[in-house]
Structure 1
């Protein structure tokens, strides 16, 4: 079975300048847990999830550090700490979105996409064409529906 046979073709999206409030309202109103961020040409430039929005309410863990002769050396967690603060300070989709989006094509096999989603702990994947334009979205729920 191919992605195009089970994907959702009418995708709810937001633009880069969408406010955090607008994103939250869109997620709640449409009973979805995430949505693509697209530019004016319909190309996917990021994705925002409930998890991204929850970061605004969670105090980030301090990075692990080591003090040597008065100098503080961070040896793990610094990148995650900076990323958490970036999301806390975000006011728009562009500032809070995940930019490195894994996407799939309409002609990809669902079994391979399901494995990718399972292995990478991904809940939804944009379906794009060769130019990066959004054509649909496939979520875990779409794959589970196949069991019916």
Structure 2
């Protein structure tokens, strides 16, 4: 029998509203000892995921992208978009300002191998788990995948 996400996910994960203050996310993550929270809008729909990395970036020094000017044009060596994202996260006051929007998700009935593939492919540590109606029912982390490997 193939192990599925339902067997190893954490059901009913702690969540936070998109319009909540960042300080509330930090407090909840500290109190509950979790490294990420699914973010819900006012209708209870999953709109993002906020992680320790999203919050820590606020403390990293803000460095503008490298560029040169050539014949009156500006040529960037890296995307100015990443600088704008960092700036938004640094100055943001609400969870929606720092979260990763539209997170990758996995179905509750997906094989564990699908969750592992998504995490490896997208370099992420956790996935919100959705039921057949698209409602959040759990979260699965790398640690949960290790438990699945141990049990097989």
TM range (shorter): over 0.9
**TM-score, reference length from structure 2:** 0.90
Please point out which of 4, 15, 18 is paired with 2:17.
15
Q: Which residue of 2 aligns with 1:30?
A: 32
Which 4+ residue blocks in structure 1 deviate beyond 6 angstroms?
Answer: none
Q: Which residue of 1 aligns with 2:91?
A: 89
Instruction: Please provide the CA RMSD for this pair.
Output: 1.5
Structure 2 residue runs without a partner (length 5+): none
Distance, in Å, in 2 between the alignment partners of 1:41 and 1:145 is 33
- The offset of 1:73, in angstroms, is 2.6
Distance, in Å, in 2 between the alignment partners of 1:79 and 1:34 is 24
**TM-score, reference length from structure 1:** 0.92
Contact 1:37 1:45 in 2 (8 A): yes
Structure 1 residue runs without a partner (length 5+): none
Alignment of 1:89-128 (within 5 A): 89-128=91-130
Q: Which residue of 2 aligns with 1:66?
A: 68
- The offset of 1:89, in angstroms, is 0.8
Contact 1:64 1:77 in 2 (8 A): no
3-state secondary structure, aligned to 1:76: coil
Report which stretch shifted further, 112-121 or 12-21. 112-121
Q: How many residues align?
A: 148
3-state secondary structure, aligned to 2:118: helix
Q: Per-residue displacement from partner, 1:81-133 (whole Å, max 9, x unpaired)?
A: 11000100110011111112100101100012112212222111001134432
Q: Which residue of 2 aligns with 1:50?
A: 52
Q: Per-residue displacement from partner, 1:1-48 (whole Å, max 9, x unpaired)?
A: 111111111210000111111000111111111110012332100000
